[in-house]
Structures are given as C-alpha cells and as structure tokens.
Amino acid sequence: MAVRGSWWLIAALVLAPASARAFHDGGVAACASCHVMHGSQDGQAVPAVGLTGETLLVGGTASDTCLRCHADAGQFAGGLGFGPGGDFYWLTRTWTWLVGGVPVSSRGEAHGHNVVAPAHGLAADGVRTVAPGGSFPSAQLGCTSCHDPHGRPAFRLLYGAGEGPLVDGARFLFGAPAPLARGNGMVTLGGAPAAGDETDSRHTIYKSGFSEWCGNCHGLYHDEGPQGFSHPSGEQLEAGRANQYNRYVSAEDPLGGTVATSYWGLVPFEAPAVDLAAADPAASTSGPAASDRVSCLSCHRAHATPFRAAGRWDFDAALIADSHPATGDAGATASDIARKYYGYTFVPTEGTLCRKCHREVPGGGVSPSPSTP
C-alpha cells in the first residue's frame, strides 16, 4: 500500500502543475497543438517549411501555426477583427483608384507588419528588407517576433529587455522591456462573447513603454531623419495637448467635450499613473491628463489596418469621408469599405484625427490658452 500510495503522490505532483498552466505556458496537450514529433502527425509527414530554423510546427511557419487558433479569434478574420492590434487580413487587400486619370494604389503589403504565413496568403515585405528605422530582417518576421509562443509574464506575451525572438538560430536581443497595459479579451470579433473588440468605451488601457518597445526594432523612427516626418513619441502630452484632446468632440463640436467622456479608441494614449489592477478596460471613457503620454500606438496599430503604415486612420486623406478603400476602388468589397473604421462614426466634415490633439491643424479646436484647464 505504501508503494501504491507513493505512485499516486508522484503522479499528482507531476500532473497538477501542468494542469494549472495556461496554454502558452505548456498546459495539458499544449505542446502537441503547435508541434509534431519526428516530422509527422496522424501518420502523415509534416514538412519543415517556412522561416529559417523552424521545424516540427503543425502550420509550417510560426505565423501560420499561430493563426490556426488566432484567425478564429479575430486576428485574421476577413476584416471582422476589430481588436486594438488590427486584422492581418488587410495585408491581403490592395485598393486602386484614379487621381486626375492616373491610377493610385494602396498596397496590401504597406498596410502593416508583414508576418510570413504562406497558408494564409501572407508573405514577407517585398519592398523593405529590414524594419524601417532598424535592422530586423523582413524575411524573418512572424507573430513570434513580438510574442513569445512559450509564455512569459508580460502583456500579450511580449518579449522584454535582454530577450527577443530567434533569428537564424540566435536571439535578436531587445533593449527595452515589455510595455505595461491591460486589455480586453482575446476574441476581437465585434460583439463576440468575452469581446476584445475596441470602442470608445471598451478598449485596451495603455500604461507605459510602448514607444520604447517598438523602438527595439524601429529605433527612434519619427525623430528627425530620412523618413521625412517627425513626431514626438513616448513624451508627455502636456497641458495644451491634453486640453485639446478633452475638448474636441468632432469637427462640428471642437470645444464641447469633457474629460470624463472624451476618450477616443482611435486615438489612445498612455496613462503612466493608472492602476492597472483596478482599471476596467470594459468601461473606460476618461481623457488624458497633462502627464499622460503619446505613443506609437496613438496613431498606428500593431498588426495591420486598411491604411498605409498600419495607420489607425487614413493618413493620406484630408477628410475621413475621403478615406480609401472607397466605393469604386478596384480591389475593394462593400464589406471592406464598411469595416475599415470598425464601428466608429464621424461627422461628414471630420478631417484627419490629428485634430484630437492638435489645435493648429485646420478644423481643430482653439482654446483660449494652452494652459487653460
């Protein structure tokens, strides 16, 4: 009996920790959901294809393997993924229209991070060989370039300082730590149970570190440089910008907003003083304080959008109503046009969303003084 009891005790000690682990921390059967043994599964060979060094993945490449589950969660959902990161579907869509009789295109590969997932029609960026502003190789880019598939105690499993993804068998080391935030659920399909879709009142609450973390691959991209556009990032909004954000409701009501209800999901900010343990991402409507910060994610999404450079809005349109894709664009379906701004609505005269922070942009609200509360 003593021997039999010891056997059950050993089994309990071995099995209990695994059973309690989350999927990406090696919970029960988690390894077999992504990996195969000896290059075969169910008696069929699984070829080692895709990025350099990737083997024994059920999806071929890391990103195809991730999308086996995450596509259905809204990360590759035909434009129905309304999460803060954006839907990788937009990388597969190219719009073409005429300007003065001359064809103009918004290329799919310019709509975000080109993760390599051939089974989903996603290929490496054909124009840029490395990350803009940095040196990360485009041919190696995948979901696991940012997220650790084996789990870590960080927001969205993001790599941190001194860590990083594998590139040609070696670590591409990050200098900045993983950022801090609290998000909604993983499922980003609009209105889905445990919804992680983004609205003005239900959205990720960003605390700190996002611009610095993006800089692991992109450097100080929007400092003065050859890209031709400079903008502060990771810096305080200060009183003038915060006041403008909180007052601006729309182009037709540029001064009528209040701090309590001024948040725009399309123009988020970092709130370093927020208590993430107490914050509620399912009900958050307050605008910024002067000490809150602008970040890369104030203007861009992390995955992809219908617009150039993964913009949260169309940077090339003077009015939101003129954004592409639009009716008549080659390559655009009716659903593409309807879903490009999630469920957000705008007045007909709404211009660039830079107005939310910048009084000096035409149509922006003008307050008596930058320091007026």
Using 50, 70 and 90 to split pLDDT, how confident is the model at 16? very low
Band the pLDDT of 41: cuts 50, 70, 90.
Answer: low
Residue entry with tokens 């954004």: 323
Q: For residues 60-84, give the mean pLDDT.
A: 94
d(CA 364, CA 252): 10
Mean pLDDT estimate for the chain: 87
Structure tokens at 72: 């259905």
- Tokens representing residue 97 in the block: 């229209």
Amino acid 361: pLDDT: 81
Lowest-confidence region among 149-163, 221-235, 294-308: 221-235
CA proximity to 295, closest of 349, 245, 222, 190: 222
pLDDT of the residue at 5: 39
Cβ 75 vs Cβ 65: under 8 Å: no
pLDDT at 221 > cutoff 50: yes
Q: For residues 287 and 245, is the Cβ–Cβ distance under 8 A?
A: yes
pLDDT > 70: percent of the chain: 83
39 pLDDT exceeds 80? Answer: no
CA–CA separation, 332 vs 94, rounded Å?
8
Tell whether pTM > 0.85: yes
Confidence at residue 11, expressed as pLDDT on a 0 to 100 scale = 35
Q: What is the DSSP string of 315-358?
A: TT-SBGGG-SS-TT-BT--HHHHHHTTTT----TT-B-GGGGT-
Sequence-separated contacts (24+) of 103-110 with Cβ below 8 Å: 106/306, 106/307, 106/308, 106/316, 106/324, 106/325, 110/308, 110/309
Pick the closest to residue 293 from 272, 263, 318 (CA basis).
272
Nearest to 78 by CA among 175, 166, 189: 189
26-30, 57-61, 320-324: segment of lowest average pLDDT: 26-30
Q: What CA–CA distances, in Å, run from 237 to 108, 257, 297, 344?
A: 32, 17, 14, 24
Cα–chain-centroid distance for residue 278? 23
Which two structure tokens, joined as six digits, stand for 369?
């003084």
Rounded Cα distance between 3 and 9, Å, is 10
C-alpha pair distances (Å), 269 with each of 117, 147, 199, 266, 286: 31, 22, 14, 10, 11
- Could you report the per-residue pLDDT of 231-274, keeping only the tens digit for each? 889 999 999 999 999 999 999 999 999 999 999 999 999 999 99
Helix/strand/coil for 140: helix
Longest dimension (CA), the chain: 89
Mean pLDDT of 190-215: 90
Mean pLDDT, rounded, for 303-317? 97
Nearest to 345, CA basis, from 258, 269, 241, 251: 251
Q: Is the pLDDT of residue 10 over 80?
A: no
Q: Where are the domains of the chain?
A: 57-191+201-356
Q: Is the pLDDT of residue 60 over 50?
A: yes
